[in-house]
Structure 1
Amino acid sequence: MQISKNAVVSMHYTLRNDAGDELDSSVGGQPLDYIHGNGNLIPGLEEQLEGRQAGEKLTATVPAEKAYGPRQDQLVQQVPRSAFGDIEQIEPGMRFHAETEHGPHVVLVVDVDDENVTVDGNHPLAGETLHFEVDIQTVREATESELAHGHVHGPDGEHHHH
């Protein structure tokens, strides 16, 4: 069966950036299962998986526009230290969950002084071209309950969240 809308795809993948650094991989662990065409993966990867079949291997290069988008300068903001409540130790490289009008969002601390904390709300992979090596394990039709919930259920009907 070919990968098409509402197919359940199980695949192993390794993700690298332009420099060739490995950012993420399922190899040696559980394969990634997703329902195709439901926005579960970045659009550029879904596009390149469309029409493929179990057993195929491919390398998919996804530009930032079809991955996590370009970096947006306006997502880098200064926040008063008081916004962090009673957290005393704030240093560059720390990540915080911030509540925004668009829901929870992870921000990265890039700079700290006595009054302000500069945070970057860009996705860590914003602006990056992503390189996926994909090994498609299985392709099957989604069950009605999977489609109703919008994600894959394990063989025992349990929910697995990655």
Structure 2
Amino acid sequence: MNKATEGCKVKVHYTGTLEDGTVFDSSLEREPLAFTVGAGQLIAGFDQGVVGMVEGEEKTIVIPADMAYGEVREDLVFSVPKENMPEDYVPSVGDQLAVTSSDGQPFPVTIKEIDEETVTLDGNHALAGKDLTFAVKMIEVLSA
């Protein structure tokens, strides 16, 4: 039976939960997730967690924030004047927007707060700062 090793292609089903049990993502209603182990396509803790699994094996992987989406970075939370918002757009807390970084690359932000003159944007991933748990079932292991 093939074991998942770095460089091999695998297919897994998974359900991701937060510490309080809230499900934030699951592949059970979709096709299994296919990826190459160790290729950096997924968060590091998930990638490392499937190493050694064999077809049919089920496992729980607990991933600390620093091996998932990282810690919350305060430098990614910033305010902009309301007049910098797109014309005819009424900002609302929770809205997701794309802003352009100083190097010209777009990146997603979420509106965190709105006051009279400014809109506070948060460029952290929604799961930053959170430890994650994944229930994983190895569906298929293809050798490298």
- Measured against the shorter chain, the TM-score band is over 0.9
Matches for 1:3-152 after TM superposition, within 5 Å = 3-100=4-101, 101=103, 103-142=105-144
- Where structure 1 has 5 or more consecutive residues not aligned to the other structure, the ranges are 143-162
1:87 CA displacement? 3.8
Q: Any idea what SS the aligned residue of 1:118 has?
A: strand
Using CA pairs under 8 Å that are at least 6 residues apart, name the structure with larger relative contact order, 1 or 2: 2
- Where structure 2 has 5 or more consecutive residues not aligned to the other structure, the ranges are none
Q: Any idea what SS the aligned residue of 1:93 has?
A: coil
1:43 CA displacement? 0.6
Give the distance between the partners of 1:87 and 1:58, measured in 2 at CA: 49
Distance 1:119 1:31, change over 3 A: same
Say how many residue pairs are matched.
Answer: 142
Give the CA RMSD over aligned residues. 1.3
Give the distance between the partners of 2:105 and 2:19, measured in 1 at CA: 30
TM-score after normalising by structure 2: 0.93
Q: Any idea what SS the aligned residue of 2:16 has?
A: strand
Residue range with higher mean Cα deviation, 80-89 or 91-100: 80-89
1:88 CA displacement? 2.6
Give the distance between the partners of 2:105 and 2:127, measured in 1 at CA: 19
1:118 CA displacement? 0.4
1:102 CA displacement? 7.5
